[in-house]
Amino acid sequence: MFKKILIANRGEIACRVIKTARRMGIATVAVYSDADARAPFVQMADEAVHIGPAPAAQSYLIADKIIQACKQTGAEAVHPGYGFLSERTSFAEALAAENIAFIGPPVGAIAAMGDKIESKKLAKAAGVNVVPGFVGEIEDTEHAVRIANEITYPVMMKASAGGGGKGMRLAFSEKDVREGFESVKREGLNSFGDDRVFIEKFIEDPRHIEIQILGDQHGNILYLNERECSIQRRHQKVVEEAPSPFVSPEMRKAMGEQCVALARAVGYYSAGTVELIVSGKDPTGKSFYFLEMNTRLQVEHPVTEAITGIDLVEQMIRVAAGEKLAFGQADVKIDGWAIENRVYAEDPYRGFLPSTGRLVRYSPPVDGWTDDGTENGRRGIDGVRVDDGVYEGGEVSMFYDPMIAKLITWGETRDAAADKQIAALDAFEIEGLGHNIDFVSAIMQHPRFRSGELTTGFIAEEYPEGFTGAATSDALKARLAAIAGFIMTARADRARQVDGQLAATLPPPASWVVQLGGADFTVALDGNELTVNGTVVDLSMEYTPGDRLVEAEVDGEALCVKVEPTRTGLRLTTRGAIHTVVALPAHVAPLTAHMIEKVPPDLSKFLICPMPGLLVSLNVAEGDKVEAGQPLAVVEAMKMENILRAEKSATVKKVNARAGDSLAVDAVILELE
């Protein structure tokens, strides 16, 4: 077994690998860029080596710096994590030349499966179903248009070396191909150093299901069941679960055996994932097609660990050290259900725009991993596990992936795992930048999610106008009104004790009018009794002014509520929604009818940068006439290109930026008239 390994990655996956290595008694080496000097993974590792500036192209993507760090520290092996150099054959070859073990598959398998065009040819030869499409290189936009027209719409354009949702565009028409083809090429080149693109038929009502593969260097290859990854936004996975609510035992066996056959055909060992697209319109479950094989650990691997009890990182290390798998296919079980939500630095209330900045407050739910990775290491305490690599006071920058953390829950049933997600998300505190906690909580509560009727179009179909918060029942509004009344009374009682604010003998108001969710509630406190609109409410909670998180039980229902005071009341966040509460003493409330509403300014004549990023291209000049929906500019942020379009017909009055400029959020790119 190795005595020391180096992790050629950063963030939560670096922390994840270090925890398992520590449990196995293996010393670890971290490498870090300028941006990560104070990151948790650097502190956790036994040694750390600085490898360059913040941009990945100048640090984490330079193989020579990783190899030099191995030589400097005496690391015998490298775990690449995912992304960066994890699927680059030249890196694995360079390590082998220096007699440094690569904790991953053989070079031949990486090469065979890393090229999406070649991998489809191999899959077809191995007897695996493949999606109809053009398997070959596309010369230019005109060539892409001809191919798409021949396949028939809708089609998917994909960067050959792409992954993680980058370098992908869905096209429903020739216009979409013409607008998106060059962006796909650029994203492929910028993220993976390869601008080749292929086009294939888009399967309608698709489910995204993947099979976890694990093999050793002695010819043993197993499948560790499946994961459902259908809930995606812009082809980036948001929610993953294991097992899939769609897959039957017969389907699981058929998928698994085909995927093992493909892995065997390329001499695969280590952990890997075969991604499949499944037609949700086929009730037999037989219409599944090969998409790609990821020759690395997946972001969503914890849900597989939770239901099988197998530590995939440990197995990768053991396989790289030459050990045989200690179990067979018959030993792979399905124990309960696991769900993972990716917590991203993005603002769902503003069209999911990327959000960067400092984590002013970061307090996740209980982390299921103990220091030595043993006790409750599989599922976490009470079925909750958090994999992260950030810290309170740290910064989420524009240089890397926007994922802040992964929240994993385990339960005996799918509903139990989802309920634990809701409770854990309520207790997950993040302040300082936008995040998607409310959004994923809303998904966990959504009737369609609970029914298991999922497709990759779930988010677009269920939130066509964007996200404004989870639906809130009248019962929940009444409970929140009760909590708000209690908090306002406590705050008023505290205020009267502060010198100079209120007379010391003046009691706090006993009755409040709480405006919440378009309804008015009268909340009255009389001794130990609390009523909402005259109905007695059983409320149990503790609150001290200044508390950010309140745990309450209202009429037998447990609620965890984030509390933020405002000028006119409170902002309460729970169950996937932000509730702006106006709370006034009952005798003052009638005066609010005379308040003047402030109208926000009209910004429609400006093209405003919605997130910090790089202005890749500007498609218009001063004096140009534009039509509604016309692309005006392309901004790249967190490795993704965003097309900014005109909201209305107008003429370009003034241009304030040019291609290549780094833009701040809300920067005015151009003015219209």
Encode pLDDT of 271-294 as tens digits. Answer: 999 999 998 776 666 678 998 999
pLDDT at position 376: 39
So what's the pLDDT on residue 368?
46
Q: pLDDT value at position 287?
A: 78
Does residue 35 surpass a pLDDT of 70?
yes
Residues 506-523, mean pLDDT to the nearest whole number: 86
pLDDT score of 358:
92
pLDDT of residue 501: 54
Q: Which residues contact 668 (CB under 8 A, 6 or more apart)?
A: 606, 607, 608, 609, 656
Give the three-state DSSP class for 92.
helix
pLDDT at 639: 65
Confidence of residue 370 (pLDDT cuts 50, 70, 90): very low
- Measured between alpha carbons, how far is 400 from 13 in angstroms, rounded to an integer? 13
Output the pLDDT for position 506: 55
| Non-local CB neighbours of 298 within 8 Å, separated by 6+ positions | 82, 210, 212, 227, 273
**pLDDT confidence band for 561 (50 / 70 / 90):** very high
Backbone angles phi, psi at 298, to 5 degrees: -100, 155
206 three-class SS: strand
CA 195 to chain CA centroid, nearest Å: 25
Decide which of 183 and 412 is more confident. 412
Could you please report the per-residue DSSP string of 485-529?
HHHHHHHHHHHHHSTTTS-TTPPPPSEEEEEETTEEEEEEEETTE
Predicted local distance difference test score (pLDDT) of residue 423: 94
Q: What pTM was estimated for this model as a whole?
A: 0.82
> What 3 state SS string does 373-395 have?
CCCCCCCCHHHEEEEECCCCCCE
CA angle 302, 306, 310 (to 5 degrees): 85
d(CA 316, CA 101): 12
Percentages (nearest 5) of helix, strand, coil residues in the chain: 30, 35, 40
pLDDT at 440 over 70: yes
Which tokens belong to 342? 């990716």
Return the residue matching tokens 């997950």: 428
Instruction: Spell out the residues 6+ positions from residue 294 whose beta carbon is closer than 8 angstroms to its own.
Output: 82, 87, 113, 163, 272, 273, 275
Has residue 369 got a pLDDT over 50?
Answer: no
Q: Dump pLDDT digits (tens) for 463-502.
A: 999 999 999 999 999 999 999 999 999 888 887 776 555 5
pLDDT of residue 375: 39
Structural domains of the chain ordered from first start? 4-103 (3.40.50.20), 106-130+210-226+245-335 (3.30.470.20), 132-201 (3.30.1490.20), 336-471 (3.30.470.20), 474-594 (3.30.700.30), 606-672 (2.40.50.100)
Alpha carbon distances (Å) from 16 to 40, 240, 368, 512: 11, 18, 12, 49
Find where tokens 């795992």 sit: 417
**Greatest mean pLDDT range, 117-126, 135-144, 178-187, 569-578:** 569-578
CB neighbour list of residue 638: distance below 8 Å, 6 or more residues apart: 345, 354, 356, 398, 400, 401, 402, 613
- 299-308 burial: b if 16+ Cβ within 10 Å, else e: bbbbbbbbbb
The pLDDT of residue 131? 83
SS3 291: strand
Tens-digit pLDDT profile for residues 328-365? 999 999 999 999 999 999 999 988 888 888 999 999 98
Alpha-carbon distance of 324 to 216, in angstroms, equals 6
Question: Mind listing the pLDDT tens digit for each residue in 62-84?
Answer: 999 999 999 999 999 999 999 99
User: One of 292, 305, 340, 346 is an active-site residue; which one?
Assistant: 292
Give me the pLDDT at residue 189, please: 85
292 is an active site residue? yes
Q: How confident is the model at residue 116 (pLDDT cuts 50, 70, 90)?
A: confident
**pLDDT value, residue 405:** 96
Q: What number is the average pLDDT over the span 400-406?
A: 92
Q: For the segment 89-105, what is each residue's pLDDT rounded down to a tens digit?
A: 999 999 999 999 999 99
